[in-house]
């Protein structure tokens, strides 16, 4: 059956869509893409540049990109029936059209009659207003309800620990609640708006690093209107100071830490050469204690038999023998092994 445009009378093939009885040319000329000119209300934070979209504050973008997304996302409010915008390719020619309005030209790919894609352009109108986002408002007021103090059991955070903490503080769900971060010689003091987010921060660091978390509450005043005490929740987060190679003691035995992970740490027992696993709880409760006065020396394996390993001290050329414990089962000549002087006794371990 032949098909015709009711306006220009052109005969149309099967592949050409008919929208409202019109061929695409007549339709786009008479109706266009938009039922009415889209009017967009663009709101920025004047301090940080965040952009408010659907009630949320999102990362800063160029004005062209914001227009592109808003047109694409809200098109059902603006387009004529039978038209669907597939992509907004370009936003250009931004110019002022009134006291508070601007216009821009948008080039789009649209689908007509769910059938064929056409490249067209249209005009959108928008206003730009500035306000201060809640996050900047809080920062400006400097009021905080929680203080998170990140420290190390060593006294000072290592560079690795510092960069880890900084990266956690940058996670959007945490960052949005931060009032102020003070980096001190010993660690971080993080003022936060909500104790709930402060606890979330603590549980992330606890999960990742086996940190110990202690929460205290300091009353500032009683607020009769809300019927509760107002104050600051202080959360102390302490990172364990265990690293690979540390000597620890437990139940009268000694071991060398050979791996540290988020869930705990493993040691080689220096007496038996057997590997043992511990949780950070064991460390915090002092069931496992780091030994401070340990002298470490390196030896080279020069031979072994079923029961002994023969070691050379490369510093003075002297030889010693040591029982071939479980962790020395697979030694071979030339291996380097560490000797640990602990409380007047030498232990050998390969970690």
Which residues form the interface with Zn ion (CB under 5 A)?
Answer: 5, 7-8, 23, 26, 45, 47-48, 50, 133, 136
- Helix pair 195-209, 159-169: axis angle to 10 deg: 140
Cβ 51 to Zn ion shortest distance, Å: 10
Cβ 107 to Zn ion shortest distance, Å: 23
Distance CA 66, CA 45 (A): 14
Helix, strand or coil, per DSSP, at residue 52: strand
Residue with tokens 């139940």: 251
Residue 202 Rama label (left phi>0; alpha psi -120 to 50; beta): alpha
Distances (CA, A) of 38 to 43, 70, 105, 122, 302: 16, 10, 11, 10, 83
Distances (CA, A) of 329 to 156, 299, 309, 350: 38, 16, 9, 10
Quick one: CA torsion of 265, 270, 272, 278, rounded to 10 degrees? -20
- Select 58 or 243, whichever has its Cβ closest to Zn ion: 58
- Select 8 or 319, whichever has its Cβ closest to Zn ion: 8
Helix, strand or coil, per DSSP, at residue 200: helix
Distance CA 269, CA 255 (A): 4
- Token duo for residue 280: 């950070």
Which residues lie across from 295 on neighbouring strands?
Answer: 341
- Select 27 or 254, whichever has its Cβ closest to Zn ion: 27
Cβ 4 to Zn ion shortest distance, Å: 9
Cβ 19 to Zn ion shortest distance, Å: 10
- Select 173 or 329, whichever has its Cβ closest to Zn ion: 173
Cβ 62 to Zn ion shortest distance, Å: 17
Q: How far is CA 148 from the centre of its chain?
A: 18
Cβ 52 to Zn ion shortest distance, Å: 10
DSSP secondary structure string for all residues of 217-282: EEEEEEETTTTEEEEEEEEEEEE----TT-EEEETTEEEEEEEE-SSEEEEEETTT--EEEEEHHH
Cβ 167 to Zn ion shortest distance, Å: 21
- Select 7 or 297, whichever has its Cβ closest to Zn ion: 7
- Select 19 or 148, whichever has its Cβ closest to Zn ion: 19
- Of 16, 266, 242, the C-alpha closest to 116 is 16
- Select 5 or 268, whichever has its Cβ closest to Zn ion: 5
Residue with tokens 């980096």: 183
Cβ 36 to Zn ion shortest distance, Å: 23
- Select 26 or 257, whichever has its Cβ closest to Zn ion: 26
- Select 45 or 267, whichever has its Cβ closest to Zn ion: 45
Cβ 23 to Zn ion shortest distance, Å: 3
Distance CA 198, CA 228 (A): 20
């Amino acid at each position: 059956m032949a098909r015709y445009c009711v306006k220009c009378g052109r005969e149309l093939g099967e592949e050409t869509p008919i929208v409202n009885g019109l061929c695409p040319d007549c339709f786009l000329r008479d109706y266009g893409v938009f039922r009415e000119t889209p009017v967009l209300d663009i709101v920025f934070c004047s301090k940080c540049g965040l952009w408010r979209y659907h009630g949320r504050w999102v990362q800063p973008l160029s004005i062209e990109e914001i227009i592109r997304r808003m047109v694409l996302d809200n098109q059902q409010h603006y387009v004529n029936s039978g038209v669907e915008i597939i992509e907004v390719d370009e936003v250009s020619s931004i110019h002022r059209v009134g006291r508070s309005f601007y216009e821009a030209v948008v080039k789009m790919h649209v689908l007509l009659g769910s059938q064929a894609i056409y490249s067209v352009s249209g005009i959108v109108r928008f206003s730009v207003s500035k306000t201060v986002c809640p996050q900047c408002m809080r920062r400006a007021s400097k009021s905080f309800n929680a203080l998170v103090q990140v420290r190390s059991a060593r006294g000072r955070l290592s560079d690795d620990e510092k960069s880890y903490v900084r990266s956690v503080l940058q996670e959007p769900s945490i960052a949005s609640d931060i009032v102020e971060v003070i980096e001190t010689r010993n660690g971080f003091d993080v003022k936060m708006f909500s104790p709930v987010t402060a606890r979330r921060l603590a549980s992330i660091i606890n999960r990742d690093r086996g940190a110990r978390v202690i929460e205290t509450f300091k009353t500032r005043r009683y607020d009769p209107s809300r019927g509760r005490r107002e104050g600051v929740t202080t959360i102390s987060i302490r990172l364990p100071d265990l690293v690979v190679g540390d000597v620890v003691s437990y139940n009268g035995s000694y071991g060398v830490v050979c791996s540290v992970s988020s869930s705990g740490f493993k040691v080689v027992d220096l007496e038996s050469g057997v590997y043992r696993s511990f949780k950070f709880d064991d460390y915090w409760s002092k069931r496992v204690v780091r030994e401070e006065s340990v002298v470490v020396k390196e030896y080279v394996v020069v031979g072994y038999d079923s029961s002994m390993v023969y070691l050379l001290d490369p510093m003075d050329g002297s030889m010693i023998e040591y029982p071939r414990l479980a962790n020395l089962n697979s030694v071979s000549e030339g291996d380097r092994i560490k000797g640990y002087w602990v409380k007047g006794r030498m232990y050998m371990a390969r970690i």
